[in-house]
């Protein structure tokens, strides 16, 4: 009997150990072939997985994410662009633009993001920046503003040039900003696009997506794929940056210097699945929610609202299965540390950012959060405001006139009284004589 019990005990332990080994394997980041890679959570900006993520490398046509971002920020989709003599000479992939052709910014963006056309990149650069050099300057300034401090662009297309470099981390930051624009996402998700007939020869141009995570019925189609951009040159090898969304959770994968499509598309899917299966962003504060109060004086209390959503990324494996988001939030115990400011003499409108704060989770700083007033407040000081002064001016004028009138009436009565006294005194003196 003891032998039977021992056998089942050992067998059960083996099963448990087997289960633990499998669980551990499922929670381990996958190996990727590319030389550099990043898996980023969009809500928090946190890097879930990184491999040489800060190593500057050639980005190839993933450069066009920044070209598209700047174009969408600086131009209108229906702007007409007349092709100069420069874009038709662009090396590498093109859609065959001709000098004198006229297309809209929208047309050229489809050529840029779907076909990865270098002639479209140069046409948009000239339209937005006035010149290629100025547009490249704008690209670098925008990259730095996004925190992409290890990036340096030399051209708008991604053609290999010395010094044209970015990192997997920086590339993720740029895509993170680009997918905030619905037009960028819409174009990236387009399967096929037809240009209007050329104004020169009537020919129609067709472009189609090269992102096999998005392309319908491709071998690597990924149902959660949201947007992305591929790239390739012989020196930079294959590059990729893409976003995927599952149940509202958005992740970004960026990879540089991959040897083939057969490697980087499956690797991207593995990284996305790893992120979705093991991590979850917990919303701590919602934009517009009243999150704190600030006492300016004993009689003045300012309600404060969050100016953005704040998330905290949790590893699902740290919690019991099926635990609710509310329970996790309770465990995290988020708090706001509002920085003091002298608002006693300040005037502001509802929605104005008036205070800074720090979000803490389990006693550790998470991020900064700007707080806005949820009420209007006008400080009038010791003197009445101009509006109030206008309202009381007629009253003050009437009061002044009344006071002056009373003064003169009183003075007149006093003088008359003195005059009567003088007359009586004079009569008395005459009688006495």
3-state secondary structure of 90: coil
Instruction: Give the active site residue among 2, 6, 12, 64.
Output: 64
Strands 364-373 and 310-315: unpaired
Stronger pLDDT, 5 or 330, i.e. the higher one = 330
Is 287 annotated in a binding site? The answer is no
Partners of 98 in the beta sheet?
none
Classify each residue of 143-152 as buried b or exposed e, where b means 16 or more C-beta atoms within 10 Å of its C-beta.
beebebebbb
Phi first, then psi: give them for residue 230, nearest 5 degrees.
-100, 165
d(CA 222, CA 212): 8
Provide the pLDDT confidence category of residue 417 given band limits of 50, 70 and 90.
low
d(CA 245, CA 287): 21
Contacts of 373 (CB under 8 A, 6+ apart): 302, 303, 304, 305, 348, 349, 350, 351, 352, 354
Q: Domain 30-278, CATH 3.30.2130.30 — does that match?
A: no
Provide the pLDDT confidence category of residue 424 given band limits of 50, 70 and 90.
low
The pLDDT of residue 162: 97
All structural domains of the chain with their residue ranges: 30-278, 286-373, 391-433
Q: Would you say how long the chain is, in residues?
A: 433
116 given a catalytic annotation: yes
Other CB atoms within 10 A of residue 352 CB: 12
d(CA 67, CA 56): 19
Contacts of 91 (CB under 8 A, 6+ apart): 118, 159
Instruction: Give the active site residue among 61, 157, 258, 373.
Output: 61
The pLDDT of residue 219: 94
Provide the pLDDT confidence category of residue 418 given band limits of 50, 70 and 90.
low
Provide the pLDDT confidence category of residue 45 given band limits of 50, 70 and 90.
very high
Mean of all residue pLDDT scores within the chain: 88
Other CB atoms within 10 A of residue 108 CB: 29
Instruction: Give the active site residue among 6, 55, 94, 116.
Output: 116
Return the HEC string of 281-308.
EEEEECCCCEEEEEEEECCEEEEEEECC
The pLDDT of residue 101: 98
Averaged pLDDT, 313-340 = 89
d(CA 384, CA 14): 83
Strands 279-285 and 310-315: antiparallel
405 given a catalytic annotation: no
Q: Is the pLDDT of residue 34 over 90?
A: yes
Q: Is the pLDDT of residue 419 over 90?
A: no
Closest CA to 147 of 70, 54, 81, 71: 54
270-290 per-position pLDDT tens digit: 999 999 999 999 999 999 999
pTM of the model: 0.80
| HSE-CB of 374 using CA atoms within 13 angstroms | 15
């Amino acid at each position: 009997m003891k032998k039977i019990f021992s056998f089942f005990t050992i067998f059960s332990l083996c099963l448990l150990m087997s289960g633990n080994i499998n669980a551990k394997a499922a929670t381990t980041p996958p190996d990727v072939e590319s030389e550099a890679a990043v898996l980023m959570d969009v809500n928090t900006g946190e890097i879930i997985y990184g491999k040489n993520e800060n190593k500057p490398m050639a980005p190839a046509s993933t450069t066009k994410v920044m070209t598209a971002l700047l174009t969408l920020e600086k131009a209108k989709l229906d702007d007409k662009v007349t092709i100069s003599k420069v874009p038709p000479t662009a090396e590498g992939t093109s859609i065959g633009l001709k000098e004198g052709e006229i297309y809209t910014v929208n047309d050229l963006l489809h050529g840029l993001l779907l076909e990865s056309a270098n002639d479209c990149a140069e046409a948009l650069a000239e339209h937005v920046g006035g010149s290629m050099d100025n547009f490249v300057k704008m690209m670098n300034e925008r990259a730095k503003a996004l925190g992409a401090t290890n990036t340096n662009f030399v051209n708008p297309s991604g053609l290999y040039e010395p010094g044209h470099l970015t990192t997997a981390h920086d590339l993720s930051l740029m895509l993170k900003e680009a997918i905030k624009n619905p037009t960028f996402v819409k174009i990236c998700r387009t399967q096929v696009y037809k240009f209007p007939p050329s104004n020169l020869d009537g020919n129609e141009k067709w472009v189609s997506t090269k992102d096999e995570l998005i392309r319908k019925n491709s071998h690597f189609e990924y149902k959660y794929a949201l947007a992305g951009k591929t790239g390739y040159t012989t020196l930079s090898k294959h590059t990729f940056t893409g976003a995927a969304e599952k149940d509202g959770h958005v992740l970004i994968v960026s990879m540089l210097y991959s040897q083939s499509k057969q490697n980087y598309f499956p690797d991207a899917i593995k990284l996305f699945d790893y992120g979705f299966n093991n991590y979850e962003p917990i919303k701590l504060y919602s934009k517009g929610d009243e999150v704190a109060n600030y006492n300016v004086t004993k009689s003045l209390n300012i309600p404060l609202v969050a100016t953005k959503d704040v998330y905290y990324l949790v590893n699902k494996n740290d919690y019991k299965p099926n635990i609710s988001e509310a329970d996790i939030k309770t465990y995290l115990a988020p708090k706001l540390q509002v920085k003091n400011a002298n608002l006693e003499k300040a005037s502001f409108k509802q929605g104005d950012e008036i205070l800074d704060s720090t979000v803490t989770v389990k006693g550790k700083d998470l991020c900064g959060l700007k707080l806005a007033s949820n009420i209007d407040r006008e400080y009038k000081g010791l003197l009445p405001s101009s509006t109030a002064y206008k309202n009381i001016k007629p009253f003050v004028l009437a009061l002044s006139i009344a006071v002056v009138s009373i003064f003169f009436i009183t003075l007149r009565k006093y003088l008359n009284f003195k005059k009567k006294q003088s007359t009586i005194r004079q009569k008395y003196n005459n009688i006495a004589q």
